[in-house]
């Protein structure tokens, strides 16, 4: 079934994507968002947007992100609180990149209620380390519309140029090798404990993300359908 009505009926659907940088969370969240008509909320995209606009949040976040560290929890929780209160989130939403720490998970509970809700799904996308490195080092990004590509596995039609808005693609500062190591360390130390946390608290499903995006997506949708 395509279109999301089954999920929209009876209350908001909330979906969280856990997984290391480079696991494919953004790709899967984007596809699910289009198919299920649910808003995708990417905290990384929101922060990069804030940086591009030069807002106070962006100014605070930029040096932290450039070092591959996590932005403070209180800023992220406030950002999500405001974002999910908007009209377009009333049928639910997909969180891509939040929560990333235990305090953020607690913050989400305060904002959106307890996990006993049977429309609260947590997907944990798992990918081996070498593949993460390959994906992150080959990733290219459009600074205007935030589309992402990969030089080998998902190249744009014209090399180095965004298919959607013709802007020149760049490598994100934090996808450079020295910063990637720090991001992966942050993931191991601060985000991975969320797997234990959600394993016992929600409709939790781990997915092998080391497969073609279509295959992963079908599994995801199959899981959601099976849980209706
Ligand atoms: P992403 O695009 O999801 O890989 O995020 C890029 C960067 O934004 C991360 O390395 C962090 O510096 C920051 N960031 C994104 N989401 C969060 C979050 N939930 N908590 C703290 N920092 C975040």
pLDDT of residue 228: 58
Q: Can 119 be counted among the known catalytic residues?
A: no
CA-to-CA distance for 7 and 16, rounded, in angstroms? 15
Phi, psi torsion values for 179, nearest 5 degrees: -80, -35
Q: Which of the listed residues 94, 97, 100 should we mutate to test ligand 1's pocket, taking the one with most ligand atoms within 8 A of CB?
A: 97
What spacing in Å lies between the alpha carbon of 121 and ligand 1's midpoint? 20
Neighbours of 169 (CB within 10 A): 22
What spacing in Å lies between the alpha carbon of 81 and ligand 1's midpoint? 16
CA-to-CA distance for 35 and 23, rounded, in angstroms? 20
Specify the residue with its C-alpha closest to ligand 1, atom 8. 44
DSSP string, 127-183: --HHHHHHHHHHEEE-TTT--EEETTTB--SSTTB-TTT-PBPB--GGGSHHHHHHH
CA-to-CA distance for 77 and 93, rounded, in angstroms? 15
pLDDT tens string for the chain (228 positions)?
344 444 445 678 999 999 999 999 999 999 999 999 999 999 999 999 999 999 999 999 999 999 999 999 999 999 999 999 999 999 899 999 999 999 999 999 999 876 557 789 999 999 999 999 999 999 999 999 989 999 998 999 999 999 999 999 999 989 998 899 999 999 999 999 999 999 887 689 999 999 999 999 999 999 998 875
117 and 14 in contact (C-beta within 8 Å)?
yes
Our CA dihedral for 171, 101, 20, 72, rounded to 10 degrees, sits at 10
CA-to-CA distance for 150 and 147, rounded, in angstroms? 11
Closest among 186, 152, 156 to 44, alpha carbons compared: 186
CA-to-CA distance for 195 and 136, rounded, in angstroms? 22
Phi-psi region of 19 (alpha: psi -120 to 50; beta: other; left: phi over 0): left
CA-to-CA distance for 139 and 72, rounded, in angstroms? 26
> Would you give the DSSP letter of residue 187?
I
Which residues on neighbouring strands pair with residue 17, listed in sequence order?
96, 123
51 and 45 in contact (C-beta within 8 Å)?
no
| Joined tokens for residue 207 | 């997915």
Homologous superfamily assigned to 6-224? P-loop containing nucleotide triphosphate hydrolases (3.40.50.300)
Taking the domains of the chain in order of start, what are their residue ranges? 6-224
pLDDT of residue 10: 60
pLDDT of residue 119: 85
133 and 181 in contact (C-beta within 8 Å)?
no
Q: pTM, whole model, 2 decimals?
A: 0.90
Determine which one of 36, 40, 48, 139 is catalytic.
139
């Amino acid at each position: 079934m395509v279109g999301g009505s089954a999920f929209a009926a009876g209350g908001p659907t909330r979906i969280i994507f856990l997984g290391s940088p480079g696991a494919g969370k953004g790709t899967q969240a984007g596809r699910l968002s289009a198919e299920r008509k649910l808003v995708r909320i990417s905290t990384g995209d929101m922060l990069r947007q804030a940086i591009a606009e030069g807002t106070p949040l962006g100014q605070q976040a930029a040096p932290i992100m450039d070092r591959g560290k996590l932005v403070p929890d209180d800023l992220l929780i406030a950002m999500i609180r405001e974002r999910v209160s908007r009209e377009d989130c009333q049928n639910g939403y997909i969180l891509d990149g939040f929560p990333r720490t235990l305090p953020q998970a607690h913050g989400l509970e305060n904002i959106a209620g307890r996990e006993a809700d049977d429309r609260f799904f947590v997907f944990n996308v798992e990918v081996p380390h070498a593949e993460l490195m390959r994906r992150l080092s080959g990733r290219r990004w459009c600074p205007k519309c935030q589309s992402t590509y990969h030089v080998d596995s998902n190249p744009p039609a014209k090399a180095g140029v965004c298919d959607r808005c013709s802007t020149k693609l760049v490598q994100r500062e934090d996808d450079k090798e020295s910063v990637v190591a720090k991001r992966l360390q942050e993931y191991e130390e601060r985000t991975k404990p969320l797997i234990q946390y959600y394993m016992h608290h929600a409709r939790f499903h781990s997915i092998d993300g080391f497969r073609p995006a279509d295959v992963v997506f079908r599994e995801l949708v199959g899981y959601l359908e099976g849980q209706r």
